[in-house]
Amino acid sequence: MRKGFKFCDGRAVYECVNSPERCLWYAAPYWYVGPNKDLGKAQGWLCCKDDAPCPEHVRAKWRVGVGHQMIDAPEINCIPVGAIHVMVAGDTPNSLNSDKLGEFIRQVGRAINNRPVYSQVR
């Protein structure tokens, strides 16, 4: 589950629903799965070298840690579960287009240039 407005290297951070002490984050050029205490570090139990904007768009192979080395885990995939929402929030200069800010939901099965498409929730 997305962890509020927490970001690492310009990408959202995700928290494990059943184990909130675990999370998923991006530290260029890898996505990592690891403990919260390592959030933002270039280390984790699993990793994947891919600069995808969100983890479900990762196409490279994931790797899993065994001792001090990482081995390929070709069966690992990051897939979206349920609806994915994003919030565009903040102050615009002179409140320009501030009515365009708000909550957006990903359109399932729709992509442009291999990137997800979102619609504003009204």
Mean pLDDT in residue range 56-70: 92
> Residue 47 and residue 51: Cα distance in Å, rounded?
12
Pairing of strands 2-8, 85-88: unpaired
**Nearest-5° angle of CA 68, CA 73, CA 77?**
130
Evaluate whether residue 79 is within a structural domain.
no
Task: Name the domain count of the chain.
Answer: 2
Mean pLDDT in residue range 110-114: 83
Q: Are residues 67 and 98 in the same domain?
A: no
Q: Are residues 93 and 68 in the same domain?
A: no
Q: Are residues 9 and 46 in the same domain?
A: yes
| Residues making up the chain, counted from first to last | 122
The mean pLDDT value of the chain amounts to 88
Mean pLDDT in residue range 22-40: 96
Q: Are residues 68 and 90 in the same domain?
A: no
